[in-house]
Structure 1
Amino acid sequence: MIHSDEKVRQMARSLLPSKNREASRAARARIHRAARQEVRQELAQWLRSGDVEADVPPCAPWEDAKIHQQVYWRQSGDKVNPFIRWATARTRHLPREDRRGHARGLLPRGVIGDHALGHLVWTDAFRDPLQDRWRQRQLLRQKQQRKGALLDRGEQARLLRALLLEPEGHRTFNRFLRERYTGTRTLNGQAAANRKLEALPAHRPLLGVHDVNPFLDSLQPNAWGSRFHTWGTLTPPLHWVRLFLQRFKAHRGHIPSVRAALEAEGLLSRAPSAARARKPPGR
């Protein structure tokens, strides 16, 4: 029977033989191969353009996210139950908030110990009650913020009608939609990853009070019947409308404050002042 430090090292190393290691290696090679192919194509197209002033295209920006997904999937196949039972038995006599630190002292230093500890922190025997309560409060706060940020159709229609009554409200709203559409099309044309997404819906301005309900009807789901462009991201027109109305609601309908906030966030360009736009008399 193995005891003492050698037993600790054996239990920590028992996590390393993952059940998904062969498939994970193949998936990693496939991701790197696809990324290299895309980078070669983008660089060749950039060199053929002959424009030395143009920015270098992004080199497979999705590669890191895909590799991280594969790492998590590989770690999910680790054989962790014997190690968790052993660590729980070794720390059963300690208070719950002290178990994690004691386990860290038992495990060897380096990658092996860090990997083994990462599987312990989410188990019931090693979870800190204070951190759990703090995490629950954070999730509740985020849920409340999301609930306040998501406007239903009735509130959207009410805010749009109030917006049309404000001086420069109609003009500012349509200019915001127009600039968001132009800017998004430009970014999608420059980023290779975005070119593979579905086509951006056509820009549609708000025509007036009579057009509030038809305008909201035009914010249709995408071709698959979903209101999400990608996972967790609303379709662009609906996202832009909600973004503007959220600022309009937060600033209590004061259009100069809404315009200043959007300009500070880089979502709206600074329009020339009326004095500059108007021609001097006699010219």
Structure 2
Amino acid sequence: MAEVVEFRVPAGSHQTLLVWGLEPDPGLERSLFSAFSKFGPLYSVRAHRNAAVAGPGYYAIIKFYSAGDARRAQRACNGQRLFQESPLKVCVCTKQKAFQQHVLALNSNKCQELANHYLGFNGWSSRIITLQNVSGFDGENEELGETLQKRSVKYLCAVEVTLPHHGVCTRGVALGEVDIENSRDPLKFGTASRRAQKVSVGKALSCAFQKILLVVLENGRVAVEYNPTQEELTDSLTEEELKGLVQVSELSLEQFDLEEEEVLSDLSFDDELPSREVPSN
């Protein structure tokens, strides 16, 4: 049976394993990741101390992107010792709290990890179409000292993701915003600008991946489906039209403020802005 894998934070109970009977170990999460990632890519591994009434020890919540991978891991690991002396108990979660059903966009780093796993490193590419400062700063007012001490730097970015082997091309547009305490300090302003660029590029890349569905077949092969939202317009515009859209001053920026689980600490500000091209043969 084929399974659809989305570039979103796994929210289904069928993708989540509960592991208990774990012995204390400083590298427990690392050991769990090593053991369970053999069955497929993992979204997260979280180990927790047992409640006092349950006695000493730990339990863990492991989230897979694929429900099929989770089932295989459960069957193979339940009752096995793996990396400790006592056997583990592993089950697929059967209940999911209502608030967990709100699905968030996967952050850009995890989107790239998932794409590399299913499509291969050379199976996709990305490029920045445009990156515009939309902060609305007035340079003349800044020189006169009329700006507020606390401002925010905003960048709007458009990114294109291409899957050449599947004939799919999709775009994402997103807003990155970073607060700055003193916009007249060139060092702080430069750091905030760089960070806002990173955030906008990462969110735009994530937005582009949201329109891609990976269909994993029983034989392990992967098909791709293009699944844009009904109100999506960016993919049908020419590159010049898209650049023009980003530059329109009356544009409502809130529509591009993607709700995702992107974390600033995941971004390295010393690296170049993420852009990948498929190597030429």
Larger of the two Rg values belongs to structure: 1
TM-score range, shorter chain: under 0.3
TM-score, normalised by the number of residues in structure 2: 0.21
Q: Which has the higher strand share?
A: 2
Higher relative contact order (CA 8 A, sep 6+): 2
TM-score, normalised by the number of residues in structure 1: 0.21
